[in-house]
């Protein structure tokens, strides 16, 4: 019975994962298009006072602009992560985990598109970053938000013990104690020979 339920759930889970990933990619690329089309490089636009600002930058490295000279390595790593997520998706039976991997896949592909197709060239393109808040020293984008959201969901599901199949890990029930022989004292060893009177 459980096997039939998981088999039925699998197509729906994969559809959710694909839709979430596609939506994440679309939103990420659309917001980057708006930024590139409407802002000058380095321009700062307050959105919610100083709480949220748009600051258009091009990032050739990883988070916090680390590793600017190794853009092609980040491109290879992002491509590898994409392949691993797609391969791993067949093991997922939970809608919640489909959201985790959908957001992670969409965010990874969103930034990979920049690295592959933006200037200065294929595989070494600069990622468009534009979001900044005072609590974080980094400038990030929609793809980064998706990846961070996936990590938060990952931690929540892991702490709650939710498996990839959607079930929670429960402690196995204790084995029932064997019944005592007639006339035996409570707590006595059931295998011990009865006392002779």
Per-residue model confidence (pLDDT) at position 61: 72
- 69 neighbors 130 (Cβ within 8 angstroms): no
Could you list the pLDDT tens digit for every one of the 197 residues in the chain? Answer: 445 555 555 889 999 999 999 999 999 999 999 999 999 999 999 988 778 899 999 988 765 555 566 678 888 999 999 999 999 888 899 999 999 999 999 999 999 999 999 998 898 899 999 999 888 888 999 999 999 999 999 999 999 999 988 888 654 455 555 555 555 565 555 555 555 55
Per-residue model confidence (pLDDT) at position 48: 86
- For 112-175, the three-class secondary structure string (H helix, E strand, C coil) is HHHHHHCCCCCCCCCEEEEEECCCCCCCECHHHHHHHHHHHHHHHHHHCCECCCCCECCCCCCC
Beta strand residue intervals within 73-197, DSSP E? 127-132
Distance CA 158, CA 49 (A): 36
Distance CA 25, CA 29 (A): 6
Q: What amino acid positions are annotated as catalytic residues?
A: 129, 144
Per-residue model confidence (pLDDT) at position 191: 53
């Amino acid at each position: 019975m459980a096997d039939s339920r998981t088999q039925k759930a699998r197509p729906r889970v994969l559809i959710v994962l694909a839709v979430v990933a596609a939506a994440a990619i679309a939103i990420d690329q659309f917001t980057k298009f708006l930024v590139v089309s409407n802002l000058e490089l380095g321009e700062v636009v307050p959105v919610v006072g100083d709480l949220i600002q748009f600051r258009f930058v091009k990032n050739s490295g990883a988070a916090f602009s680390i590793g600017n000279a190794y853009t092609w390595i980040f491109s290879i790593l992002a491509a590898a992560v994409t392949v691993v997520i797609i391969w791993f998706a067949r093991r997922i039976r939970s809608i919640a985990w489909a959201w985790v991997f959908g957001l992670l896949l969409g965010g990874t592909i969103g930034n990979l598109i920049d690295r592959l197709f933006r200037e200065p060239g294929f595989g070494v393109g600069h990622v468009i970053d534009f979001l900044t808040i005072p609590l974080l020293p980094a400038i990030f984008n929609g793809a980064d938000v998706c990846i961070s959201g996936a990590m938060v969901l990952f931690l929540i599901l892991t702490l709650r013990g939710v498996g990839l199949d959607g079930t929670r890990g429960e402690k196995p029930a204790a084995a029932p104690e064997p019944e005592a022989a007639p006339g035996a004292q409570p707590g006595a060893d059931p295998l011990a020979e009865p006392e002779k009177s």
